[in-house]
Amino acid sequence: MTNAGPGRPRLTKQRRPGPTAQAEILDAAAELFTTKGFASTSTRQIAEVVGVRQASLYHHFATKDDILAALLEQTVTPAMELATRLADRAEAAPERLYALALFDSRQLMSGRWNLGALYLLPELRTERFAQFRRERVRLRAQYEILARAVLDELDRPGDTALAGLPFRLVETIINERSDRESDETDRGPDPVDQPALVADAALRVLGWPGEITQLRAAAERILADATGPRP
């Protein structure tokens, strides 16, 4: 393995998962940011955990902020790509909203590190993260467009305030996961399928009265078609 930097051999054998040195750096930084804190982590520590020289790290990311920005983008980009594809599809709005909420919740639940826990950092309010904030606002808007279409279908177009709730429900995965990872919460050997629970709730809060089992099956078919089969 000599992919740690241009022409530089790495100090040690690969320590972090990832197909490229860049992915290894992101994985190490994600662990440190979510377990020690962003402000308390230095690029030197990240390089040490990856097992590369700090100069190699700087070849990939000029600053610690750049690493955080790349990690945050990873949490939004796949859902945004799906939302864009869903906008062009012919399925009914409840099925598409369920598909987006289920996909996004699963992704927030299953990533190796709970990166959504970084969303509320005050550091994210700076100009450096304006692009990430805009991306997240765009994703939220996609949720709201689908939610308003569901409300229209239910003849509740006046209840647009409700349209913000599905996005907020999906974000609760971050809190649920944080609590599950802390020592106080023991949900037993068979924990609830939180992504499905949240996607169900995203439709229920809009007043959708139908049969959830069928809706979920329809959403899974959309996801299989729009994102490829799940492993």
Binding mask 200-229 for a second copy (x = CB under 8 A): -x--xx-x----------------------
19: which 2 tokens?
């197909």
Binding mask 145-184 for a second copy (x = CB under 8 A): ----------------xx-xx--xx-xx-xxx-xx--xxx
**141 near a second copy (CB under 8 A):** no
H-run or E-run covering 74 = helix 64-87
Compare residues 90 and 120 and give the one whose CB is closer to a second copy.
120
Instruction: Say how far apart CA 42 and CA 33 lie, in whole Å.
Output: 10
What lies within 8 Å, CB to CB, of 38 at 6+ separation is: 64, 68, 118, 121, 123
**119 near a second copy (CB under 8 A):** yes
Q: How far is the CB of 173 from a second copy (least distance, A)?
A: 9
Give residue for tokens 């945050």: 72
Instruction: Say how far apart CA 173 and CA 218 lie, in whole Å.
Output: 22
Q: How far is the CB of 205 from a second copy (least distance, A)?
A: 5
**Which residue, among 192, 195, 208, 188, has the nearest Cα to 146 in the 3D structure?**
208
DSSP 37: -
Amino acid identity of residue 31, one-letter, is: E
Among 2, 20, 35, 84, contact with a second copy (rule: CB under 8 A): 35
Compare residues 11 and 165 and give the one whose CB is closer to a second copy.
165
| Contact stretch for a second copy (CB under 8 A) within 66-74, 86-94, 96-104, 129-137 | 129-137
Q: How far is the CB of 90 from a second copy (least distance, A)?
A: 29
**80 near a second copy (CB under 8 A):** no
